[in-house]
């Protein structure tokens, strides 16, 4: 389990997380949602240990996150940043192989069969035909898929995803989240994903955590959280919530405030 205890964090002098507390159980997929600027990405940075909070503590399996050596933490936790990977001059296969770094000794030898693990990650993200292509020859969506394949090669038990569907069309959004969900369920992983699309969050996540005004406004299953009243309070917009015709997950229908011309 990973837990945030009374976390306060500032960005450019502004408090974005204010005594925030929440927890994430093993083997569940969580969606972190909320309006722009409420600290969703900041929360992931703190949970990953990339940033230290001004106050409060992050606990991983009952132990303070700051007490873990970085390489040991990298064997357990992987992070997909919002910007994906930069268009550097490495090949796709070279970038995916970087996910094996935490498992290499000082001679560069991997404790497992890294080629098999890398091949599986490339196949899962449909990158076999691109594996020798340079990163600066890829589209933003292709680089995002490479970033996720790198995470898969890392074999973490906790995955933090910051807007993983950025740059992806709807077909690849579904492919990526299908892959993450299947991977999470097969390996009993904990996945925490910042998502802007509430409908995708409801379709793929076991639980949602809603951030608002620096705190957790609501947490629970999509059915418990995605109500018209909460959405209006947090997003300041009116909606209708219906059931998905196949999965029965709640889906948000927007209500435009259009005035007819006379």
What tens digit of pLDDT does each residue of 149-189 get? 999 898 899 999 998 887 788 988 898 899 899 989 998 99
102-147 pLDDT, tens digit per residue, is 777 655 566 667 889 999 999 988 899 999 999 989 887 788 888 8
Residue 86 pLDDT exceeds 70:
no
| Token pair listed for 206 | 């076991």
The whole-model pTM stands at: 0.88
| Token pair listed for 157 | 């038990």
CA distances to 122, 130, 155, 245 from 169, rounded to whole Å, are: 19, 18, 26, 22
Q: What is the pLDDT of residue 108?
A: 59
Distance between CA atoms of residues 134 and 94, nearest Å: 9
**Pairing label, strands 207-212, 29-33:** parallel
Helix (H, G, I), strand (E, B) or coil at 34: coil
CA distances to 56, 131, 134, 151, 254 from 20, rounded to whole Å, are: 9, 42, 42, 27, 29
Which domains can be identified in the chain, with CATH numbers?
A: 2-225 (3.40.50.300)
22-47 pLDDT, tens digit per residue, is 999 999 999 999 999 899 999 999 99
Residue 18 pLDDT exceeds 90:
yes
């Amino acid at each position: 389990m990973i837990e945030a205890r009374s976390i306060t964090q500032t960005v450019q002098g502004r408090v974005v997380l204010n005594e925030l507390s929440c927890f994430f159980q093993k083997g569940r997929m969580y969606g972190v949602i909320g309006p722009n600027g409420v600290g969703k990405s900041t929360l992931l940075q703190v949970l990953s240990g990339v940033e230290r909070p001004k106050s409060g503590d992050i606990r991983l399996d009952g132990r303070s996150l700051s007490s873990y050596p970085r390489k040991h933490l990298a064997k357990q936790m992987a992070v997909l940043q919002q910007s994906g990977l930069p268009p550097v001059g490495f090949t796709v296969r070279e970038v995916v192989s970087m996910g094996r770094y935490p498992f290499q000794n000082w001679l560069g030898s991997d404790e497992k069969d890294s080629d098999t693990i890398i091949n599986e990650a490339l196949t899962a993200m449909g990158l076999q035909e691109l594996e020798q292509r340079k990163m600066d020859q890829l589209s933003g969506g292709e680089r995002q898929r490479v970033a996720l394949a790198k995470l898969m090669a890392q074999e973490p038990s906790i995955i933090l995803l910051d807007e993983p569907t950025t740059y992806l069309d709807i077909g690849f959004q579904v492919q990526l989240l299908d892959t993450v969900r299947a991977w999470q369920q097969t390996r009993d992983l904990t996945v925490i994903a910042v998502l802007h699309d509430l409908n995708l969050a409801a379709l793929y996540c076991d639980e949602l955590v809603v951030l608002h005004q620096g705190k957790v406004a609501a947490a629970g299953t999509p059915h418990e959280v995605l109500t018209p009243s909460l959405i209006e309070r947090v997003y300041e917009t009116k909606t209708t919530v219906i059931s998905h015709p196949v999965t029965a997950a709640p889906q948000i229908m927007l209500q435009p405030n259009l005035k007819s011309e006379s």
